Chains A and B, each alone.
Chain A
Amino acid sequence: MTRYISSTINHCILLIGLLIMIVPVWIIFASSTHSSLFINTNGLQFFLGDNFIENYSRVLFKKSGFFNEITALKMFFNSFIMATGIATLSVITSLMAAYGLVYFKIKYATILFWLIFMTLLVPLELRIMPSYIVMSKLNLVNTFAGLILPISASAIATFFFRQFYKSIPDELLEAAKLDGTSSWRFFIDFLVPLSKTMIAAVFIFMFVFGYNQYLWPLIMTTSEQYWTVVMGLKTMYGSISDRFAFVIMSMIPPVVIIVFLQKLFIQGIFQNK
């Protein structure tokens, strides 16, 4: 009997937790399916209205922004390029750098190690102005390279891969060396296939991280053609239901990725612990 009571309490607490997480987003979603006029007179809504298709297609295809030059669709396209670029670049460079650090005898290993990992102490937010100045010196303002490169300059992924490599038994390399495998072959034929789960996890992590960038695109894009979704949220003008619809759409890509790939993501992160 007490078991039933305690299990009921467990479920109740979890349900309250679920409500806290779901209700706010549901209210915005439900409100996004009403007309602006209705929202303005009646406030936020809990039940669905019948302007869903009308509102969402208007937001996706209508040009908005300061100078009415960009559609939400284009912002999604920009965000995807930025996020994919950041994820791809940081996976490739970190995978290689971690390999260099773990599997080679290097003369100045300690210095290199600190050169790479000190960067974890300096998030982009701390060097935002100088970064902007450097980017404008390099003529990278209003380019995808400008959006991608500074965000990829991070050692978090390298740290993950390094931990993972260290957990691989030494015997693997010993065996490979007996066979006379070169360092390149060992990397491509053994380590990359072994790291598949880690690569996927780091890719997902960096993709969501890149998609969710707010401050950097805000500073780096003076031309509306390069606006991304998350930064566009604040600057986009439109009626209230347009803005609700845009908020909901902006969440969809990262949330879908995390929900469907959560196993992979969590596995990859915890392989290290």
Chain B
Amino acid sequence: MKKVQFKSYYSQYFFLAPQLLILLIFLYWPIIQTFKDAFTMQDAFGFGSQFAGFDNFLFVFSDPSYFTAFKFTIIYSFVITLITGSIGLLLAVQANKVLHGKNVYKTLLIWPYAIAPAVVGVMANYFFSERYGLLHHLFNNLWGFNWYEDVFDAYIYVIIAGSWKQISANFIFFLAGLQAIQKTVIEASIIDCKSNIRRFWTITFPLLMPTTFFLIIINITYAFFDTFGIIDTTTIGAPGSETKTLVYKAYIDGFKGLDLGSAGAQSIMMMIIVLFITIFQFRYIEGKIHYN
């Protein structure tokens, strides 16, 4: 905080009030409702409800499809982070090196960042449709592609759809990270180390650690939450529930299945996961990477 500050009895609250008001009504109220739902059991007709302790949580844990969703979410986040991070880094390193056309490349590589995941999903839909789909035909000729029956094929479908636009985000941040590295550091390292590849891994990449770490969190959050639009416009969780993310499952159970208790419990589980990721981000890794 600032060393010099205003002292006032009421002004600060005036400045804080609009945001706090919106947060209290449209955020805290639903959150409290979520907790209420998670610990109550509604009867089948929605007439009454009673305190249920941890029954909803036990129900979620005993549900094999919850673990399917858990497994898929982990795999999905990991693969998306890996693919988009490495392609984004590769492109950023090249774009940082070229002397001509840097801005053209930059502009033409960042625009997919602006497209909504749901729009990407609808597009992917066409490329994977049996009737028109170019990718469907390609994969079908290679190994007999059938995403609504084969789990592996469905994974390929949602991973391609999910990774495409996220490459842009990784590219933007890696490029900015590369441009922030001081020229003198690079010049000094050229004298010490002739090999481009070794120099990249021993000098440049460690200096990019803060960016890399930041992007890992961004990509995981993207795979957890933003891919909702992609799943809902591509596989809708098929085959079975194999490609439902945790968020998508909570939505289906709550909104379509009208099981508020289970959806609430699932939401709270997700909050705990997000909380862990955030704590991990602030405590563990931020202390261990070195900044320039």
A interface with B by C-beta (< 8 Å): 6-7, 10-11, 13-14, 17-18, 20-22, 24-25, 27-28, 39-40, 43-44, 89, 92-94, 96-97, 99-106, 109, 112, 115-116, 119-123, 125-134, 138, 149-150, 152-153, 155, 158, 166, 170, 173-174, 177, 183-184, 186-187, 208, 211-215, 219, 230-231, 233-234, 240, 243-244, 247, 250-251, 254-255, 257-259, 262, 266, 270, 273
- B101 contact set on A, CB distance < 8 A: 11
Residue in A closest to B255 when the chains form the complex, CB atoms: A129
Contact A125 B4 (CB under 8 A): no
Identify 29 residue pairs between A and B in the complex whose beta-carbon atoms are under 8 Å apart, listed by A's number. A6-B196, A7-B97, A10-B97, A11-B94, A14-B98, A17-B91, A17-B171, A18-B105, A20-B164, A44-B127, A44-B134, A97-B18, A100-B12, A104-B8, A105-B12, A122-B271, A129-B254, A129-B255, A134-B30, A134-B33, A183-B6, A214-B232, A233-B119, A247-B119, A247-B122, A255-B111, A259-B111, A259-B114, A262-B107
Does more than half of chain B's interface fall in helix, strand or loop, or is it mixed? helix
Q: Which residue of A lies closest to B230 (CB)?
A: A214
- B47 within 8 A of partner (CB): no
Residues of chain B within 8 A of A109, CB atoms compared:
1
Q: Indicate if the CB atoms of B23 and A119 lie closer than 8 Å.
A: yes
* Chain A CB within 8 A of B185 CB: no
Chain B residues with Cβ under 8 A from A10's Cβ?
94, 97-98
Whole-angstrom CA separation of A20 from B165 in the bound complex:
10
Is B143 among interface residues, defined by CB-CB distance under 8 A?
A: no
Contact call A215/B228, Cβ cutoff below 8 A: yes
B118–A100 contact, CB under 8 A?
no
Q: How far is the CB of B133 from chain A (nearest CB, A)?
A: 8
Q: B264-275 vs A: 1/0 string, CB under 8 Å?
A: 100100110011
CB distance from A170 to the nearest CB of B (A): 5
Q: Are B228 and A214 in contact (CB-based, < 8 A)?
A: yes
Known: A17-B109, A99-B15. A119 touches B6 (CB 8 A): no
**Chain B neighbourhood of A257, CB < 8 A:** 114
Q: Does B58 contact A (CB under 8 A)?
A: no
CB distance from A231 to the nearest CB of B (A): 7
Can you list the 8 inter-chain pairs with the closest CB atoms, starting with the nearest? A100-B15, A212-B116, A130-B33, A104-B12, A254-B114, A97-B19, A130-B30, A258-B114
Chain A residues within 8 Å of B263, by CB:
129
Chain B residues in 8 Å Cβ range of A152: 22, 26
Decide if B90 is an interface residue (CB 8 Å cutoff). Answer: yes
Please judge, given known A-B contacts A184-B11, A266-B172, whether A103 and B108 are in contact too, CB under 8 Å.
Answer: no
Distance of A258 Cα from B165 Cα, bound (Å): 14
Of all chain B residues, which has the CB nearest A257?
A: B114
**Given the contacts A121-B275, A129-B263, A233-B122, A21 and B112 also touching, CB distance less than 8 Å:** yes
When the two chains form their complex, are residues A233 and B118 in contact, meaning their CB atoms are under 8 A apart? Answer: yes
Across the interface, B23 reaches (CB within 8 A) one of A128, A153, A219, namely A153
Residue of A nearest to B95 (CB): A14
